[in-house]
Structure 1
Amino acid sequence: MLLAIDQGNTNTVFALLDGDAIIRKWRISTDEKRTADEYMVWISALLKLSEMSVSDIQGAVIATVVPQGKLNLVLLCRRYFQCDPLVVGDPNVDLGVDVRVHNPQEVGADRLVNAVAADHIYGGPLVIVDFGTATTFDVIGGDGAYLGGVISPGINLSLKALHEAAAKLPRIAVEAPLSDRVTGRSTLEAMQSGVFWGYVGLVDGINERLRAEHATDMKVIATGGLAKIFYGRAKSIDQVDHDLTIAGMRLLFIKNQHKCTPVPDED
C-alpha cells in the first residue's frame, strides 16, 4: 500500500491507498516540532486498530506547506517504513505540469498536487477552490498548465481575527444557514451570515473575474474541509472533490516511483 502524507498549516492527513482506493484516512493537528518517533507511536496504534501493520506500507509520498515539518516526516518514512519518500516540490520530482508563474518554487505543494489531479480527472480549463487555512483559487489552462491563482484568508482564520479583534464578538463555527435570509436577528446570526455569505460572494466574485480574464467558461472544482457547505450556495462551484489532493499525490508517486528507493536496515 501507499502512504500519502498531506501536511497543511492546520492539519496533517495520513491516507493509505490500495491502488486508487483510499483504505484509511487519519488526521492529526500539524505541529512542526512533532518527531518521527511521536508520529510512529500515533500511526502504529491506528494501524493496529485497522488490523494492519507497518509492513503493509511499500511506498510513501509527502506534500507539505510547512518547511520545518518536512524533515521529521521524511525520517518517519525512512526509519519506520523503510522507504525513501517522494517529496512534492523537490527538484527531482517530475510534476508533468508546466508551471507558468514567475517563481515556481513559491507555489505550495498542495496547490501543485491539486493541479495535477484536477487536470487528470476533469481536464482544463478549470479553477480549483481549496478551502483550507487559506482559501486558494488555482487556474489550470486547457493544455493542463498551471497558470497561477489567488490566495485569500481562510474562513476560520477570518473568524479567529474577528473574535480576537472585537471584544464583544464570540467565537463561532462556520455553518451553512437553513435559509437564504441574510439579515441576522442576533449577534451570532449576523456573524454567521457575514462570514458565510461574505465567502459565497468572494468565491463567486473571484471565479467570475477569472472566467472573464481568461475568456473561457472554466469548470470550478472545490476541495477542502469546508467545501461541502458552500456547494449549492456558491453558484460558481460545479463539483466538490474532497480527495483531490490525495489523488494527485498518488498520480505523482506513480509517475516518479522509480526515484523512491528502499532504505536498508541499519546495522
Structure 2
Amino acid sequence: MACNPRNMFPGTVYSNSDRKLDLYGDGIEVDYRGEEVSVENFIRLLTGRVVEGTPRSKRLMTDERSNILVYMTGHGGDEFLKFQDSEEISAFDLADAFQTMWAKKRYNELLFMIDTCQANTMTTKLYSPNIIATGSSAKGENSYSHHADSDIGVAVVDRFSHFVLSHLEGLNKTSKSTFQDFVKEFASDIFHSTPAARTDLSNRTINEVLMTDFFGGVSSVELDPIPITTTTTIQDEKTRLNDLKPEAIWKLSTSKWKIISSVNHDDSFTTSQSWIHLYWPQISSTFLLSFTLLAHFWAAHST
C-alpha cells in the first residue's frame, strides 16, 4: 500500500483521514512484503518450518512461555481468507497450524483476531489449547469499512479494526483492562455486523486475561547461576592423597597452591585454609623426611 502508484502520499499508510499517525513511519519493520506474503510462508512462519538460511527477522522465535497475537484482515468468506487475491487459507489450515505450534511448544497463550466478511467462521475449526479467538462478523454477514480518505479515494480502515485501535489507545502498559472489558463494548450498531469471541479453548476466563498480555511488549531475562569450575571436593582429594607417596604429594601440593592463587580473592583465604588443612599432614611428613635425609647426608660427609 505504501508504494502503490495510486497512493497520493508515497511511503505512508494512514488509518484515519486526518493522517495524524503514519503506520509506515520510522521504526516500522516489514519482514514479509509483496510476493513473500503467501499462505505457505505464513504457515511456515507459525510452525517454524522455514527454509534453511532464513534470517532471524523472518522467524517466529517463540517458546512455551510466549503469548502470541495473530491478527488477520482482508477479503474472506465462509471458512477462508484470501491472500493476494490469488490463494486462500482455510479454517482447517489455520487450525492445524496452531495445533502444530502447540505440539512444538511455540506458544503459551494465543490470541487470534480476524477482520473479514464471515470472520467468525475462521474460528470454528480451532481445537488447540490456550487459544482465544474473536472475529468481526457472523456467517452470512459482511464486515464493513469505517470511513474513506477522499484524497486517496478508498477506505483506510475497517470498522472492527478501527474499534480495536480506539480501544487500545485508551490503555497503557500498566492497564488492568481485560479481554472481557473489550468484548463488552461489542455493539452491532458500531460494526453493522455481529462480532463474537470464542473462549472455550482458553485455560483462563476472559475476565482474567489482560489486554496487555498480548498488546504489551514485555521482555524477560533469565540469569543462570555461574557453575563452580572445581569438580573435585576436598573429601575426594583427601581420599586420593592417602594413596600417594610423600614425594608425589609434594609435587601435587605445589600445583594446588597455584590453583588457590587464581580463585576469587574474596574466597581465597577460606579456600586456602581448607587446602592447608587437607595437605598439611602430607606436607609436614615430607618436610620431616627431607630434614632426616639432610641430617644423614651431613653426618656422612662430616666424618
Q: Looking at secondary structure, tell me which structure has more strand per residue.
A: 1
* Both structures adopt the same fold (TM-score exceeding 0.5): no
Structure showing greater relative contact order (alpha-carbon pairs closer than 8 Å, 6 or more residues apart): 1
Q: Larger Cα Rg: Structure 1 or Structure 2?
A: 2
Instruction: State the TM-score, normalizing by the size of structure 2.
Output: 0.26
Instruction: State the TM-score, normalizing by the size of structure 1.
Output: 0.29
